[in-house]
């Protein structure tokens, strides 16, 4: 019995701090009585300066109905986000029913069509506005804490910047 207790204690002392120290890649960015919005921080990509590719999950307490009369409770959305002011281009939507049963996958919007899409402005005071403002807060903190490489960037030619000449102190 003591042998098993010591093994459990060893595992608890080693494994628990490792799990507790790790930050979850999915962060809740909005919650009310009907909706919970979670943001995937692990798969954020800088598409171009000021434009981020994001994935969010919108979980509804009550089922919603799409145009073909099917119900869903979860929307997983990939969108491009600009943060000042908040603007969104939704480029992929997938909806699921209870127990994560796939209802509909819209597929990715063709990149040629994405260029012609309008940047949506979330309605003031809406859940979308609140959620994407929180997402932008996370993105701007992440950008300032680490240099992210754009998703479509290719390594370029390194350029050197000449440092200004230092003045020598006169000796007396």
pLDDT digits (tens, 9 = 90+) for 42-86: 989 998 899 999 999 999 999 999 999 999 999 999 999 999 899
Q: Which CATH architecture has domain 23-145?
A: Beta Barrel (2.40)
Phi, psi of 127 (to 5 degrees): -60, -40
The more confident residue out of 102 and 158 is 102
Q: List the domain boundaries for the chain.
A: 23-145
What tens digit of pLDDT does each residue of 101-132 get?
Answer: 999 998 999 999 998 999 999 999 999 999 99
More confident residue, 145 or 116: 116
Q: Looking at 5-109, which runs of residues are DSSP E strands? A: 26-31, 35-40, 45-48, 51-65, 71-83, 86-96, 102-105
Q: Enter the tokens of residue 86.
A: 């908040």
Q: What is the pLDDT of residue 169?
A: 54
What are phi and psi for residue 63, nearest 5 degrees? -60, 145
pLDDT given for residue 2 in this prediction = 54
In tens, the pLDDT along 3-36 reads 444 444 333 443 444 444 455 689 999 999 999 9
What phi and psi, each to the nearest 5 degrees, are found at residue 95? -115, 145
Q: Could you tell me if 126 and 118 are in contact, meaning their C-beta atoms sit under 8 angstroms apart? A: no
How far apart CA 13 and CA 16 sit, in angstroms, is 6
The larger pLDDT score, comparing residue 1 to residue 117, is at: 117
Q: Which two tokens stand for residue 124?
A: 């003031």
What's the confidence (pLDDT) of residue 48?
87
Q: Give the pLDDT band (50/70/90) at residue 171.
A: low
């Amino acid at each position: 019995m003591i042998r098993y207790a010591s093994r459990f204690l060893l595992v608890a002392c080693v494994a628990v701090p490792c799990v507790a120290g790790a930050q979850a890649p999915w962060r809740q960015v909005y919650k009310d009585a009907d909706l919970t919005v979670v943001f995937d921080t692990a798969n954020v990509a800088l598409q171009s300066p000021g434009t981020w590719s994001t994935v969010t999950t919108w979980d509804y307490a009550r089922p919603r109905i799409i145009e073909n009369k099917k119900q869903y409770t979860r929307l997983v959305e990939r969108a491009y986000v600009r943060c000042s002011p908040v603007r969104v281009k939704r480029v992929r939507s997938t909806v699921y029913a209870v127990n994560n049963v796939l209802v509909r996958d819209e597929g990715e919007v063709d990149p040629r069509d994405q260029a012609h899409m309008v940047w949506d402005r979330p309605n003031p005071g809406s859940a979308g506005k609140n959620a994407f403002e929180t997402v932008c807060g996370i993105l701007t903190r992440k950008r300032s804490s680490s240099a992210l490489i754009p998703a479509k960037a290719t390594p370029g030619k390194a350029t050197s910047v000449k440092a200004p000449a230092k003045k020598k102190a006169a000796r007396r």
